[in-house]
Structure 1
Protein backbone atom coordinates (compact mmCIF):
# COMPACT_ATOMS: atom_id res chain seq x y z
CA UNK A 1 0.00 0.00 0.00
CA UNK A 2 1.27 3.43 -0.93
CA UNK A 3 -0.02 6.78 0.25
CA UNK A 4 1.12 10.33 -0.17
CA UNK A 5 0.88 13.29 2.20
CA UNK A 6 0.05 16.62 0.65
CA UNK A 7 2.45 19.41 1.50
CA UNK A 8 -0.12 22.04 2.37
CA UNK A 9 -2.72 20.07 4.35
CA UNK A 10 -0.80 17.04 5.63
CA UNK A 11 -3.72 14.84 4.45
CA UNK A 12 -2.95 11.29 3.44
CA UNK A 13 -4.03 10.71 -0.15
CA UNK A 14 -4.76 7.47 -1.87
CA UNK A 15 -2.24 6.89 -4.67
CA UNK A 16 -3.46 5.64 -8.02
CA UNK A 17 -0.83 4.74 -10.58
CA UNK A 18 -1.51 5.16 -14.29
CA UNK A 19 0.27 2.72 -16.54
CA UNK A 20 1.15 3.29 -20.23
CA UNK A 21 -1.63 0.86 -21.23
CA UNK A 22 -4.05 3.41 -19.67
CA UNK A 23 -4.89 1.14 -16.75
CA UNK A 24 -5.28 2.65 -13.31
CA UNK A 25 -3.89 0.80 -10.30
CA UNK A 26 -5.16 1.64 -6.81
CA UNK A 27 -2.29 1.12 -4.39
CA UNK A 28 -4.66 1.05 -1.38
CA UNK A 29 -6.65 -1.93 -2.64
CA UNK A 30 -3.88 -3.43 -4.81
CA UNK A 31 -6.31 -3.73 -7.71
CA UNK A 32 -6.86 -2.18 -11.10
CA UNK A 33 -9.75 0.26 -11.12
CA UNK A 34 -11.86 1.94 -13.75
CA UNK A 35 -12.60 5.59 -14.35
CA UNK A 36 -16.06 4.93 -12.89
CA UNK A 37 -14.43 3.79 -9.66
CA UNK A 38 -12.27 6.91 -9.60
CA UNK A 39 -15.50 8.90 -9.97
CA UNK A 40 -16.84 7.11 -6.88
CA UNK A 41 -13.74 8.23 -4.95
CA UNK A 42 -14.54 11.80 -6.01
CA UNK A 43 -18.19 11.41 -5.00
CA UNK A 44 -17.10 10.09 -1.59
CA UNK A 45 -14.68 13.03 -1.17
CA UNK A 46 -11.84 10.54 -0.87
CA UNK A 47 -8.49 12.33 -1.27
CA UNK A 48 -6.39 10.77 -4.03
CA UNK A 49 -3.67 11.52 -6.52
CA UNK A 50 -3.09 9.88 -9.90
CA UNK A 51 0.59 9.48 -10.79
CA UNK A 52 2.20 8.38 -14.04
CA UNK A 53 4.01 5.16 -13.17
CA UNK A 54 7.06 5.97 -15.35
CA UNK A 55 7.57 9.69 -14.75
CA UNK A 56 5.83 10.27 -11.41
CA UNK A 57 3.95 13.17 -13.03
CA UNK A 58 0.69 14.14 -11.31
CA UNK A 59 -2.14 13.24 -13.72
CA UNK A 60 -5.03 13.90 -11.32
CA UNK A 61 -6.43 16.89 -13.23
CA UNK A 62 -6.26 14.97 -16.49
CA UNK A 63 -8.21 12.05 -15.01
CA UNK A 64 -10.81 14.40 -13.49
CA UNK A 65 -11.23 16.09 -16.86
CA UNK A 66 -11.74 12.65 -18.43
CA UNK A 67 -14.50 11.95 -15.91
CA UNK A 68 -16.15 15.28 -16.70
CA UNK A 69 -15.90 14.53 -20.43
CA UNK A 70 -17.59 11.16 -19.94
CA UNK A 71 -20.31 12.70 -17.78
CA UNK A 72 -20.91 15.42 -20.35
CA UNK A 73 -21.11 12.85 -23.17
CA UNK A 74 -23.52 10.58 -21.27
CA UNK A 75 -26.75 11.50 -19.56
CA UNK A 76 -27.64 15.15 -19.22
CA UNK A 77 -24.74 17.56 -19.64
CA UNK A 78 -24.12 20.30 -17.10
CA UNK A 79 -22.42 22.67 -19.53
CA UNK A 80 -23.93 24.08 -22.68
CA UNK A 81 -21.81 24.61 -25.79
CA UNK A 82 -21.82 28.42 -25.27
CA UNK A 83 -20.58 28.01 -21.68
CA UNK A 84 -17.79 25.68 -22.80
CA UNK A 85 -16.86 28.09 -25.60
CA UNK A 86 -16.69 30.93 -23.07
CA UNK A 87 -14.40 28.90 -20.81
CA UNK A 88 -12.13 28.11 -23.76
CA UNK A 89 -11.93 31.80 -24.64
CA UNK A 90 -10.45 32.51 -21.20
CA UNK A 91 -7.38 30.40 -21.99
CA UNK A 92 -4.56 32.73 -23.01
CA UNK A 93 -6.65 35.75 -21.99
CA UNK A 94 -5.39 38.22 -19.41
CA UNK A 95 -8.27 37.16 -17.13
CA UNK A 96 -7.35 33.43 -17.22
CA UNK A 97 -5.72 33.55 -13.80
CA UNK A 98 -8.82 35.08 -12.23
CA UNK A 99 -11.30 32.70 -13.86
CA UNK A 100 -10.33 29.61 -11.84
CA UNK A 101 -10.56 31.46 -8.53
CA UNK A 102 -13.85 33.04 -9.57
CA UNK A 103 -15.39 29.68 -10.44
CA UNK A 104 -14.06 28.04 -7.30
CA UNK A 105 -15.43 30.78 -5.02
CA UNK A 106 -18.84 30.71 -6.68
CA UNK A 107 -19.08 26.95 -6.48
CA UNK A 108 -18.07 27.12 -2.82
CA UNK A 109 -20.82 29.71 -2.26
CA UNK A 110 -23.31 27.38 -3.93
CA UNK A 111 -22.15 24.54 -1.65
CA UNK A 112 -22.56 26.77 1.40
CA UNK A 113 -26.12 27.75 0.40
CA UNK A 114 -26.99 24.10 -0.26
CA UNK A 115 -25.55 23.07 3.13
CA UNK A 116 -27.61 25.78 4.89
CA UNK A 117 -30.76 24.71 3.06
CA UNK A 118 -30.12 21.09 3.98
CA UNK A 119 -29.50 21.97 7.61
CA UNK A 120 -32.60 24.17 7.84
CA UNK A 121 -34.86 21.68 6.13
CA UNK A 122 -33.71 18.93 8.50
CA UNK A 123 -35.53 20.85 11.21
CA UNK A 124 -38.79 20.67 9.26
CA UNK A 125 -40.59 17.92 11.12
CA UNK A 126 -43.85 16.25 10.05
CA UNK A 127 -45.54 18.05 12.94
CA UNK A 128 -44.32 21.42 11.65
CA UNK A 129 -45.59 20.51 8.18
CA UNK A 130 -48.97 19.57 9.68
CA UNK A 131 -49.10 22.92 11.51
CA UNK A 132 -48.28 24.72 8.26
CA UNK A 133 -51.13 22.92 6.48
CA UNK A 134 -53.51 23.68 9.36
CA UNK A 135 -52.78 27.41 8.97
CA UNK A 136 -53.93 27.33 5.32
CA UNK A 137 -57.49 28.00 4.12
CA UNK A 138 -59.93 25.04 4.18
CA UNK A 139 -59.81 24.67 0.40
CA UNK A 140 -56.01 24.63 0.44
CA UNK A 141 -56.09 22.24 3.41
CA UNK A 142 -58.21 19.87 1.37
CA UNK A 143 -55.82 20.05 -1.54
CA UNK A 144 -52.73 19.75 0.62
CA UNK A 145 -54.07 17.50 3.34
CA UNK A 146 -54.84 14.66 0.96
CA UNK A 147 -51.26 14.76 -0.23
CA UNK A 148 -49.59 15.45 3.10
CA UNK A 149 -47.55 12.26 3.17
CA UNK A 150 -46.72 12.64 -0.49
CA UNK A 151 -45.63 16.24 0.11
CA UNK A 152 -43.40 15.22 3.02
CA UNK A 153 -41.85 12.48 0.92
CA UNK A 154 -41.31 14.87 -1.96
CA UNK A 155 -39.63 17.38 0.36
CA UNK A 156 -37.31 14.66 1.67
CA UNK A 157 -36.54 13.43 -1.86
CA UNK A 158 -35.89 16.98 -3.08
CA UNK A 159 -33.55 17.56 -0.16
CA UNK A 160 -31.65 14.32 -0.84
CA UNK A 161 -31.49 15.02 -4.58
CA UNK A 162 -30.15 18.53 -4.01
CA UNK A 163 -27.50 17.13 -1.68
CA UNK A 164 -26.53 14.48 -4.22
CA UNK A 165 -26.43 16.84 -7.18
CA UNK A 166 -24.44 19.45 -5.30
CA UNK A 167 -21.98 16.79 -4.20
CA UNK A 168 -21.63 15.54 -7.77
CA UNK A 169 -21.15 19.00 -9.20
CA UNK A 170 -18.63 20.00 -6.61
CA UNK A 171 -16.86 16.69 -6.81
CA UNK A 172 -16.46 17.22 -10.53
CA UNK A 173 -14.62 20.42 -9.72
CA UNK A 174 -12.50 18.72 -7.07
CA UNK A 175 -14.09 20.60 -4.21
CA UNK A 176 -14.80 18.77 -0.97
CA UNK A 177 -18.03 19.18 0.92
Structure 2
Protein backbone atom coordinates (compact mmCIF):
# COMPACT_ATOMS: atom_id res chain seq x y z
CA UNK A 1 0.00 0.00 0.00
CA UNK A 2 1.21 3.51 -0.78
CA UNK A 3 -0.34 6.62 0.70
CA UNK A 4 -1.01 10.25 -0.10
CA UNK A 5 1.26 12.83 1.48
CA UNK A 6 0.28 14.22 4.86
CA UNK A 7 0.55 18.00 5.19
CA UNK A 8 1.66 17.69 8.80
CA UNK A 9 4.63 15.35 8.68
CA UNK A 10 5.31 14.69 5.01
CA UNK A 11 4.29 11.07 5.53
CA UNK A 12 1.43 9.09 4.20
CA UNK A 13 -2.08 9.99 5.13
CA UNK A 14 -4.78 8.11 3.23
CA UNK A 15 -4.52 4.71 1.58
CA UNK A 16 -4.06 4.45 -2.17
CA UNK A 17 -3.54 1.02 -3.71
CA UNK A 18 -0.23 0.48 -5.49
CA UNK A 19 1.88 -2.42 -6.61
CA UNK A 20 3.83 -4.24 -3.92
CA UNK A 21 7.25 -2.66 -3.53
CA UNK A 22 6.39 0.28 -5.79
CA UNK A 23 7.14 3.80 -4.68
CA UNK A 24 6.71 7.23 -6.16
CA UNK A 25 9.69 8.98 -7.70
CA UNK A 26 9.70 11.75 -5.06
CA UNK A 27 9.47 9.29 -2.16
CA UNK A 28 12.60 8.48 -0.19
CA UNK A 29 12.86 4.72 0.31
CA UNK A 30 14.26 3.22 3.47
CA UNK A 31 14.73 -0.52 3.58
CA UNK A 32 14.53 -2.49 6.81
CA UNK A 33 16.61 -5.63 6.85
CA UNK A 34 16.03 -8.72 9.01
CA UNK A 35 18.96 -7.69 11.23
CA UNK A 36 16.81 -4.64 12.19
CA UNK A 37 19.07 -2.24 10.29
CA UNK A 38 17.55 0.57 8.27
CA UNK A 39 19.13 1.45 4.93
CA UNK A 40 18.45 4.84 3.30
CA UNK A 41 18.55 4.28 -0.45
CA UNK A 42 18.92 8.03 -1.15
CA UNK A 43 22.10 8.46 0.85
CA UNK A 44 23.24 4.82 0.47
CA UNK A 45 23.90 4.60 4.21
CA UNK A 46 22.54 2.79 7.21
CA UNK A 47 20.47 5.02 9.48
CA UNK A 48 18.93 4.81 12.95
CA UNK A 49 15.44 5.42 14.28
CA UNK A 50 16.73 8.83 15.40
CA UNK A 51 17.53 9.60 11.76
CA UNK A 52 14.04 8.51 10.71
CA UNK A 53 12.61 10.74 13.45
CA UNK A 54 14.61 13.64 11.99
CA UNK A 55 13.12 12.92 8.55
CA UNK A 56 9.67 13.23 10.14
CA UNK A 57 10.65 16.45 11.92
CA UNK A 58 12.00 17.87 8.64
CA UNK A 59 8.76 16.83 6.90
CA UNK A 60 10.58 14.68 4.36
CA UNK A 61 8.44 12.27 2.37
CA UNK A 62 9.57 8.68 2.84
CA UNK A 63 8.43 5.09 2.96
CA UNK A 64 9.97 2.23 4.94
CA UNK A 65 9.87 -1.12 3.17
CA UNK A 66 10.74 -4.57 4.37
CA UNK A 67 13.85 -5.42 2.33
CA UNK A 68 12.80 -9.05 1.90
CA UNK A 69 9.08 -8.72 1.06
CA UNK A 70 8.82 -5.11 -0.14
CA UNK A 71 5.87 -4.53 2.22
CA UNK A 72 5.29 -1.00 3.47
CA UNK A 73 6.17 -1.03 7.18
CA UNK A 74 6.28 2.74 7.70
CA UNK A 75 3.55 2.66 10.36
CA UNK A 76 5.41 0.13 12.51
CA UNK A 77 8.60 2.21 12.33
CA UNK A 78 6.68 5.35 13.32
CA UNK A 79 5.12 3.44 16.22
CA UNK A 80 8.62 2.39 17.32
CA UNK A 81 9.67 6.04 17.35
CA UNK A 82 6.60 6.97 19.41
CA UNK A 83 7.35 4.10 21.81
CA UNK A 84 10.92 5.36 22.30
CA UNK A 85 9.66 8.92 22.85
CA UNK A 86 7.06 7.72 25.35
CA UNK A 87 9.67 5.66 27.23
CA UNK A 88 11.95 8.71 27.42
CA UNK A 89 11.70 11.84 29.53
CA UNK A 90 8.22 13.36 29.24
CA UNK A 91 5.55 11.06 27.77
CA UNK A 92 2.71 12.64 25.82
CA UNK A 93 0.11 9.97 26.57
CA UNK A 94 -1.11 9.12 30.05
CA UNK A 95 -1.97 5.53 30.95
CA UNK A 96 -5.63 6.52 30.85
CA UNK A 97 -5.33 7.86 27.29
CA UNK A 98 -3.47 4.75 26.12
CA UNK A 99 -6.07 2.49 27.74
CA UNK A 100 -8.85 4.46 26.05
CA UNK A 101 -7.17 4.13 22.67
CA UNK A 102 -6.82 0.36 23.19
CA UNK A 103 -10.53 0.13 24.04
CA UNK A 104 -11.43 1.67 20.67
CA UNK A 105 -9.85 -1.25 18.78
CA UNK A 106 -12.60 -3.64 17.70
CA UNK A 107 -15.22 -1.18 18.92
CA UNK A 108 -17.84 0.22 16.54
CA UNK A 109 -16.24 3.63 17.06
CA UNK A 110 -12.81 2.52 15.75
CA UNK A 111 -13.49 3.71 12.21
CA UNK A 112 -14.49 7.15 13.44
CA UNK A 113 -11.67 7.61 15.91
CA UNK A 114 -8.78 7.95 13.44
CA UNK A 115 -10.37 10.77 11.39
CA UNK A 116 -11.46 12.52 14.59
CA UNK A 117 -7.96 12.40 16.09
CA UNK A 118 -6.40 13.38 12.77
CA UNK A 119 -8.62 16.46 12.44
CA UNK A 120 -7.88 17.51 16.01
CA UNK A 121 -4.14 17.11 15.58
CA UNK A 122 -4.29 19.03 12.31
CA UNK A 123 -6.21 21.81 14.07
CA UNK A 124 -3.54 21.97 16.78
CA UNK A 125 -0.81 22.11 14.11
CA UNK A 126 -2.64 25.02 12.48
CA UNK A 127 -2.85 26.85 15.83
CA UNK A 128 0.86 26.22 16.35
CA UNK A 129 1.64 27.54 12.84
CA UNK A 130 -0.44 30.67 13.48
CA UNK A 131 1.44 31.25 16.73
CA UNK A 132 4.78 30.79 14.95
CA UNK A 133 3.78 33.21 12.18
CA UNK A 134 2.77 35.84 14.69
CA UNK A 135 5.90 35.32 16.77
CA UNK A 136 8.23 35.89 13.78
CA UNK A 137 6.97 39.45 13.25
CA UNK A 138 7.25 40.41 16.91
CA UNK A 139 9.83 42.89 18.11
CA UNK A 140 10.82 42.73 21.81
CA UNK A 141 8.35 45.53 22.57
CA UNK A 142 5.57 43.78 20.72
CA UNK A 143 6.43 40.54 22.50
CA UNK A 144 6.02 42.32 25.87
CA UNK A 145 2.62 43.61 24.83
CA UNK A 146 1.67 40.18 23.54
CA UNK A 147 2.55 38.58 26.87
CA UNK A 148 0.43 41.14 28.72
CA UNK A 149 -2.51 40.43 26.36
CA UNK A 150 -1.82 36.71 26.23
CA UNK A 151 -5.29 35.56 27.23
CA UNK A 152 -7.33 37.23 24.44
CA UNK A 153 -4.89 36.14 21.71
CA UNK A 154 -4.65 32.57 22.95
CA UNK A 155 -8.39 32.46 23.45
CA UNK A 156 -8.85 33.43 19.81
CA UNK A 157 -6.44 30.77 18.60
CA UNK A 158 -7.84 28.14 20.92
CA UNK A 159 -11.37 29.16 19.91
CA UNK A 160 -10.48 28.20 16.35
CA UNK A 161 -9.18 24.84 17.54
CA UNK A 162 -12.26 24.21 19.70
CA UNK A 163 -14.55 25.09 16.79
CA UNK A 164 -12.69 22.69 14.47
CA UNK A 165 -12.79 19.98 17.12
CA UNK A 166 -16.53 20.54 17.61
CA UNK A 167 -17.11 20.32 13.85
CA UNK A 168 -15.11 17.08 13.62
CA UNK A 169 -17.11 15.59 16.50
CA UNK A 170 -20.42 16.62 14.90
CA UNK A 171 -19.36 15.03 11.60
CA UNK A 172 -18.45 11.85 13.45
CA UNK A 173 -21.86 11.80 15.17
CA UNK A 174 -23.68 12.35 11.86
CA UNK A 175 -21.75 9.50 10.25
CA UNK A 176 -22.57 7.21 13.18
CA UNK A 177 -26.24 8.13 12.89
CA UNK A 178 -26.25 7.32 9.16
CA UNK A 179 -24.53 3.99 9.82
CA UNK A 180 -27.02 3.13 12.57
CA UNK A 181 -29.94 3.91 10.25
CA UNK A 182 -28.42 1.69 7.54
CA UNK A 183 -27.99 -1.20 9.99
CA UNK A 184 -31.53 -0.80 11.32
CA UNK A 185 -32.83 -0.57 7.75
CA UNK A 186 -31.10 -3.83 6.86
CA UNK A 187 -33.16 -5.53 9.59
CA UNK A 188 -36.37 -3.83 8.49
CA UNK A 189 -36.40 -1.54 11.51
CA UNK A 190 -36.85 2.20 11.59
CA UNK A 191 -35.67 4.69 14.14
CA UNK A 192 -38.51 6.01 16.32
Same fold per superposition (TM over 0.5): yes
**Which of residues 41, 54, 63 is equivalent to 1:27?**
41
Provide the C-alpha distance between the structure 2 equivalents of 1:8 and 1:128, rounded to a whole number of angstroms.
Answer: 40
Residue 171 of structure 2 corresponds to which residue in structure 1? Answer: none
1:57-82 deviation digits (Å, cap 9, x = unpaired): 00000000000001101111000000
Residue 65 of structure 1 corresponds to which residue in structure 2? Answer: 79
If the length of structure 1 is used for normalisation, what is the TM-score? Answer: 0.66
Residue 102 of structure 2 corresponds to which residue in structure 1? Answer: 88
Alpha-carbon offset, residue 128 of structure 1: 3.4
Figure out how many residues of one structure are paired with residues of the other and give that number: 128
1:64 to 1:8, Cα distance in 2 relative to 1, 3 A: closer
Residue 51 of structure 1 corresponds to which residue in structure 2? Answer: 65
Provide the C-alpha distance between the structure 2 equivalents of 1:113 and 1:7, rounded to a whole number of angstroms.
Answer: 25
2:88 maps to 1:74: yes
Higher relative contact order (CA 8 A, sep 6+): 1
1:135-160 deviation digits (Å, cap 9, x = unpaired): xxxxxxxxxxxxxxxx9xxxxxxxxx
**Which of residues 116, 121, 129 is equivalent to 1:102?**
116
Provide the C-alpha distance between the structure 1 equivalents of 2:109 and 2:125, rounded to a whole number of angstroms.
Answer: 24
Equivalence map 1:149-164=2 (5 Å): none
Q: Flag structure 1 segments of 5+ consecutive residues without an equivalent.
A: 1-5, 134-150, 152-177
2:43 maps to 1:16: no
Q: Which aligned segments of 4 or more residues in structure 1 are displaced greater than 6 angstroms?
A: none
1:25 is paired with a residue of what secondary structure?
strand
Provide the C-alpha distance between the structure 2 equivalents of 1:87 and 1:42, rounded to a whole number of angstroms.
Answer: 23
